[in-house]
Structures are given as C-alpha cells and as structure tokens.
Structure 1
Amino acid sequence: MNHDVPALLVKVGPSPQNHGCLGALRSLGRAGVPVYAMVEDRFTPCAVSRHLADRFVVPTTGLEEPRTLVSALLRLGRTIGRRTVAVPTDDESAVLLAEHAEALAEWFVLPPVPSALPRALASKEGLRRVCTEHHVPTPRAHAPADRTQLLAYARDLGYPLVLKNLEAYTRVRSPVVTHTTVVHNEDELLALIGPRETPSVLMQEYIPPADAEDWITHLYCGARGAPRAVFTGYKVRSWPVRSGATTRAWARPNPGLARLAAELCRRIGYSGVADLDWRFDRRDGLYKLVDFNPRIGAQFRLFESGQGVDVVRAMYLDLTGQQIPRAEQTYGRMFVVGQLDLLSATIDAWQERRVPPAVLPRRGTERAWLSWDDPWPAVAESVRFGGTVGRRLTKPLRPHG
C-alpha cells in the first residue's frame, strides 16, 4: 500500500467510547498511513493509541451550525498541510462531509456520493422510502406528525413496537430515545414521548426474537455505487440487549444477502463505506433492512478479505488511486466488545431464566478495545467504563435540587 496520503477520522457530537473509530485508526495506522483524529479530550481511547499521528481536541456537540463545523475541518486540513482522506465515524459526520464536499475538496479526498443521499439513508423515514422505491423488504413503519398519529400508528402496528430517533442529528440535539427501544404498551410509549406534540421518531414493527435472525453487511462502494468490497456476518448479541450495538458477531457467508446489499447500493448510486443491519424474518423468509449507516460501522473490523483488506482500507486504496486486491472474505472471524458482551450475555440469560453462555473469546478474535500491540486504548476505556458504571450506581444517592 502506498501510504503517503494521510487520513482524518471525522466525528460530530460526543462519543469518546467509539470503538469503530479506534478500529479505523488501527487498521490504517498498521498499514503505515499517517492517521489524525478528532477527539473530545486528550485521554479518549483513540487519543492514546500508538498508531495515531496526531490528535485534534475538537469537542463538538452536534448543535453547531454546519458552516462552523466545515470551518473547523478546513482549519484541520490546513494544519495537516496536504489533501487527506476523510473517514466519517458517525452518521452526522457522513452527512456533513457529503453535503459540503465542494467546500471541503480543497483539503479532503471524499467519495463521489450524491450530496443528499447520506442524510436520506441515515433518516429512518428516508430509508423506509428508499426501500419502498427499490423493492427492498423492510419492517412496517410509520413516522407520526403529531400525537394523534402516534397513537393511531401504534394501534396499527400493535404492541410491542420499536421506537427509533428519526433523523441523523436528532440523537444529539433532541433524542426521544437513547437507542433503539422496544415499547410494550401505550403507557410506556407516552412516558417516552413526554409532552412533545411533534415527536421525531420512527415507529417500527417488532419482529419477535424467536422468529428472527440479525445479520450485518459492511460494504465499500466506488463511483456510481459499484461494490468494491462486500462482507456479511451474523449478529449474536448486542447492548442494550437485543436492540443496541453489536457486542458479539461472526463473519459468516451469506451470498444472497451480499447480492441484495450490493444491488441496493448500485441502484441508489451510493459511494463510500456503509454498515447495513438486516433482520431475517422466519415468518415470511425475507431479509428486512432495518438500518443503513452511511459510515464505518463500530464492528467493521470483524470483516477482512484474504488479502487483509477491510472496508476502511478499501476506501483508502480506492480514493488514493490504488488497486483493491481481489480476495474472498475470511470467514469464521469473531468480534467481541468485552465488558458489554458480558453484560448482554448475563442479562439475556437472566431474562430467559437460563445459564449464561460462555463469553470468553477464542484465540484470534478481534477485540474492540484490547490489542497487544496497542494496549493504552483498552486502559483508557476501562477507566471511562468504570466511571460510567460508578456514576450510574451512585445516582440514586446524590442530592437533587
């Protein structure tokens, strides 16, 4: 790999414990690419990685005007001093880079994605419309315009149902839920919505776990949606349990799903890295698309080709004019987010009244945080995770007022 062109990990909003960002840093850094990162402070896991060329402390909130964020990126580009591959690590940064690609082109190398497409795909309602237009199965869903529609749609979908924040920036500006949330009755629904007259949520059909399998596809697509690297895997556990981010997954072959994901990207002309979540519904035998994240996925390091190429390396090679080596996906790899996977397995077993499964990863497993050639991020994460647990445990003891 020619690694003369640097890379910048771009983020919008607070997410210091983003292991996808760390995975991208390690993947490119180990290949010799000078990698820079936007971080919240000097002690985030990414900020202490040995593979980092330099860190920029830019504690964004997601409430800034786009022109402010673009100006900040241009300043970083001038500081780096040469054109740089920009790697979006969250939906908000993917939207920002796409919608302001022309202004950023002086300093950043970006995939030629249609400017409005990442926002449409990151929007839960926008994705539903894309799926409908291109005949891709997706769970039944509604986006209520007011409380009257909210209750009417809930009756149409039936309980339990799934709630998601509607738009890319909603989760950092005015989130209705902190993550994908299952609602079991009207009282729970109204408690979550609160006094909002215009709730910014998507209400989605609930597919019972007994009737479902969770699958993921990670892709890199070149110009006009040409798939250049496509990977498939099976999601074992998540945190929060059965509704959140992946904590354990396997790289498994699924040629039909790979074709479905690649064909969708080709039809809509999507260019860049993408992380797609699918739910296989045994009731009708269909793979249903539930999320399209137009950026790197937190668990993307699960996936590699026989040549050691993941989606981030594929993007870097393509955008710097280099050939992406052709090789089949390596199957049998496992990805684990240690402490969260332990919590997920324990709580899931308790809810199902069964003995918790073995959670120790086998040799060769890709770990989200721990790496023997780069140990300090795991230490930094342990400190932050311990602080988070401590604050939650002591919250009931703190005085209110």
Structure 2
Amino acid sequence: MPQPDRAVVLVAGAESPTGLGVARALRDQGLTIVGLTNDVTASPCRSGLWHEIVDEGDGTPEGWITAVRGVAARHGRTVLIPVRDDVVELVAAHADEVAAVVEFVLPPADVVTTLLDKTAFHGWAVEHGFPVPHTEIVADQAALDAALARIPYPAVIKPFERTAEWQAASPRHKAYRLESAADVAKIGFRLFDTAPRFVLQQWIPGTDADVWFCLVYRDRSGREIASQVGRKLVQWPVGTGCTALATTATDEELHTLTSDLLDAAGHIGVGSLEVKRSTADGKLYITEPTVGRPNLQSNVATAAGINLTLLQYRDALGLDLPVMPAPRPAVWIHETSLPRAIAVSAARRVLDVRAVAAGLRAASGRMSAFGAPADRTPLTAELRRLAGRTVGVLQRKVRRPSASAPAPASAPVQG
C-alpha cells in the first residue's frame, strides 16, 4: 500500500556527477531512485544506487514526458529532481502537463527564464542594482565585432548555450579569455559555426580560489530553509569554472546577496548563486545563478550535514521540512580533475596552497564526484573511459607524426 511520506525519486540527468550526487544525498533514506538520462553508458549511470536507468527518449519534449510517464506508471508516486538546465526549462514550460504525472518544486516559468536566459538576467540584474560585469549578447558577426570594440579587456567569450557543435569544437573549454579583439580569430574555429549566440563579458580579475558560491533551499512560499556558502579552490581546466575542489566557508555578504537576489526574482526550490571576488577592488561580482537544480559541487553542503536534496524531496511531497544541523567543515572533490588542476595551477603560480591545505585539513565531511566507499563502480568506469580516450589520442598522434595540433591562441577561462 502506498505510504504518504514515500515516493520514487526520478533524477533527470543521471549521466552527470550532479545527478549521481542527488542519488548519493538520498542514499540513506531507503528510497527507490530511478535515473533518467541522455546517455545510458555514462560512468555515473553505473552506480549501484540506481534502481533503474531510463533513456529519456528522442530529445523532444514529448519524448521526454513520455519517458517520465513510463516511470510513474511502473513505480507509482514519483518526485522529479532535474539536474540540467534544459530539463528545468522543459519542466517550467510544460509545468501543468508534468505536474499531472510527477511531484516537483520549481520556480514559475517567468522566473526560470529571467534567471537562466543570460540576456534577460543581465538586464534584470542591472535594473535591480545587482553587481554584474559588463556583458553583451551577440547573435551574428557584425554584432560581435561591435561588442568587441566596446568591451573592456581582458574579456571572456562563451556560447549562450553549449550546443553539441560547441562541445565538438571545444570539448574541454567552456569559454576563452581575450586580451584583445584580435584574439577571437585565434580561437581555432568559427564561433558562429558552433552556436547561434555568444556571451561577451568583462573579465573579473582573480584566481580560481576567488570564486565563491551560496547554495540554498527555499520552500514553496519562498522562505529560505537552509543554505551553505562554499568556495572553489581549484578548477579544471584552470580558470574555466568546473570545480575540481571546493570547501565550505562562511561569507555573510554573499549569503545576503544571494537572499536579496532570489527574493527579488521570486525563486523557490533549490538554487545557488556563483560570484567572483575581484582582486582589483575586493567586490563580489555575479558570474551566474543556478535555477531550480543542484550544481556540480552541491554535495559539499550534504557533506557538511546540510542536505538540500532531502528538503527538496520532502517539500515536493508536502511533508514537514526538518531543521538542518549546524554545518561541519567539508570538502567536495572531483577525483579525475583534481590532480591535473593542482599540477597546472602550481605550474602557472596561481594555486592558493594555503587555502587548499587548510580546506583539506579542516574537513570532517567529504564527498566526491564519482567515488564513494560503498559505490566505487562509477569512478572505476570513469577512469577506464579517460584511459581509453588517452590511448586513442596517442594512437592518432602515432598515425600522423607530421601533423601538429593547433596551439590555443586564447587562454581558456572561467565559464
């Protein structure tokens, strides 16, 4: 007989470490956890925590909703937890249809659009007085040329959305740092062959250790139930915004900024704000919000005892929300990225050795991207995947000894 406080959890984005992190955050709750994915072969899908892995369909909203309906038909009452922006947008756009099948907590569609759409968010943030760097959105070469003439340098250029074409042309880098307008021509491929729109943004001076974030859960009324501030210590590739090592921290200025922004936007559910503290003026500048979903390093809060995912699950079912304990110091580690990130950061003299050592030494809670004491298969699978890719690269180089890879002309940077 169905229990009023129980439901199957459907994690939409099980192919990512973020999706696996959701399953890990709920592993001790005795729940059935199903993964919905666009890549059933991905390393996180190899975890023993999944009761079932389901292909999300043909890539259309209709196909995705059909897959969700199938899960609910097989398992009964279901709570949906999205972990990708495209899924958040899809659910927001089809909220009534999805709500007829599964339970979820997500901001309204207009809030999702305001915070996820980079054009809308920048204008909205400026209008509301929130600190954002100079940003321009361009959709053709003429607009890009004009923006390159206006933007202060250094600057960052990145796709508005990371398309499949962008991922193929730039598999490692989310963005590129430009020292001048001429650097665009040195990137190595034609930008508008890979994405229809690009974000050109003023570079905020600082290192990876100057990137901070605030993770929150806000109930359906918009009241903050719990939060956790954190700090990125190392990223991979260095400066590109993918966390290799993060630690818990305290920063009331950032917490207040996050609360003020999410209050103004009308955000509910899980979310976060990422900022960078400029080494030029010491001020916080918003790099991006995360809307309606966890992000890569969200389980640093879980490791600290602040289980935002559990709050999301219980809120979706209309259950009482527990008071979270005082957080303990914790770290989150991306096992395959961290060694490379440490080595390159040290070689470039941008590694904050004291911060890294202090974060690791103080941590009494730890969680990782792929591995866990009783669930090592995803890490093993990811290491094998990376080893296979490395072998493939070496074989191609041996077959083409005279070919030389194009050197990156612009530095990849935080996305």
Give TM-score scaled by structure 1 length. Answer: 0.87
Match of 1:4 in 2: 6
Match of 1:179 in 2: 174
What letter corresponds to residue 202 of structure 1 in structure 2?
Answer: V
CA contact (8 A) 1:223 1:269 kept: no
CA contact (8 A) 1:227 1:266 kept: no
Unaligned runs of 5+ in 1: none
Match of 1:107 in 2: 101
Match of 2:79 in 1: 85
CA offset digits 1:158-177 (Å, max 9, x no partner):
3321112214xx43465685
> Take 1:340 and 1:72, find their aligned partners in 2: how far apart are those partners?
33
Task: Flag the 1:111–1:173 CA change in 2: closer, same or farther, 3 A.
Answer: farther
> Take 1:324 and 1:305, find their aligned partners in 2: how far apart are those partners?
19
CA contact (8 A) 1:221 1:265 kept: no
Q: Which residue of the other structure, out of 208, 216, 219, is the alignment partner of 1:219?
A: 216
Match of 1:289 in 2: 286
1:34 and 2:32 matched: yes
- SS of the aligned residue for 1:251 comes to strand
- SS of the aligned residue for 2:26 comes to helix
Cα displacement (A) at 1:3: 5.6
CA contact (8 A) 1:29 1:52 kept: no
Identity across the alignment (%): 21
CA offset digits 1:53-77 (Å, max 9, x no partner):
21113476xxx33233223322332
Query: CA RMSD for the aligned pairs?
Result: 3.0
Match of 2:310 in 1: 313
Task: Flag the 1:173–1:223 CA change in 2: closer, same or farther, 3 A.
Answer: farther
What letter corresponds to residue 196 of structure 1 in structure 2?
Answer: F
> Take 1:354 and 1:315, find their aligned partners in 2: how far apart are those partners?
35
> Take 2:199 and 2:86, find their aligned partners in 1: how far apart are those partners?
18
> Take 1:195 and 1:46, find their aligned partners in 2: how far apart are those partners?
31
Which is worse superposed, 320-329 or 83-92? 320-329
Match of 2:332 in 1: 335
CA contact (8 A) 1:273 1:296 kept: yes
What letter corresponds to residue 98 of structure 1 in structure 2?
Answer: A
Cα displacement (A) at 1:103: 0.6
Cα displacement (A) at 1:395: 3.9
Cα displacement (A) at 1:298: 0.9
Task: Flag the 1:378–1:41 CA change in 2: closer, same or farther, 3 A.
Answer: same
Note the 1:53-202 alignment, pairs <5 A: 53-58=51-56, 64-80=59-75, 82-167=76-161, 170-172=162-164, 178-192=173-187, 194=190, 196=192, 199-202=196-199
Unaligned runs of 5+ in 2: 404-415
Which is worse superposed, 121-130 or 102-111? 121-130
What letter corresponds to residue 184 of structure 2 in structure 1?
Answer: L
> Take 1:238 and 1:283, find their aligned partners in 2: how far apart are those partners?
21
Give TM-score scaled by structure 2 length. Answer: 0.84
CA offset digits 1:117-166 (Å, max 9, x no partner):
32332222222123113211011111124322312222322332111221
Cα displacement (A) at 1:2: 7.8
Task: Flag the 1:172–1:229 CA change in 2: closer, same or farther, 3 A.
Answer: farther
1:231 and 2:206 matched: no
CA contact (8 A) 2:206 2:278 kept: no
Cα displacement (A) at 1:240: 1.2
CA contact (8 A) 1:10 1:86 kept: yes
CA contact (8 A) 2:37 2:55 kept: yes
Cα displacement (A) at 1:351: 2.2
- SS of the aligned residue for 1:116 comes to helix
